[in-house]
Amino acid sequence: IVLALWGATLANLTCLQQTDLKSLIAYSSISHMGLVVATIIIQTPWGLSGAMALMIAHGFTSSALFCLANTTYERTHTRILALTRGFHNTLPLP
């Protein structure tokens, strides 16, 4: 359990340092899977149902985030977060 939580924590800390939008989403996925592994290792009904709920929610949200990252890239031609600052004011989504 400790190793899974340590991996999730390290992935979170690495995620905070990312400037590329797709890398940020990928590291958050690694962190989520660390939490899923930790809850599966516990082997309780609450842990297993929580892990299943987190995996399903992660599947939907991660797909949507990658779709939004692609939309942002198509509009700005960059994936660097600092260069897309104020983007919602100049080109709002329809």
Non-local (6+) Cβ contacts of 72 within 8 A are 21, 79, 84, 87
Q: What pLDDT digit, counting tens, does each position of 46-69 carry?
A: 999 999 999 999 999 999 999 989
pTM of the model: 0.83
- 1-83 in CATH: which number? 1.10.287
Helical ranges in 17-44 per DSSP H: 21-42
Residue ranges for the chain with pLDDT beneath 70: 88, 91, 93-94
User: What CA–CA distances, in Å, run from 8 to 28, 34, 76?
Assistant: 9, 5, 31
Q: Domain coordinates of the chain in residue numbers? A: 1-83
Residue 58, pLDDT score: 95
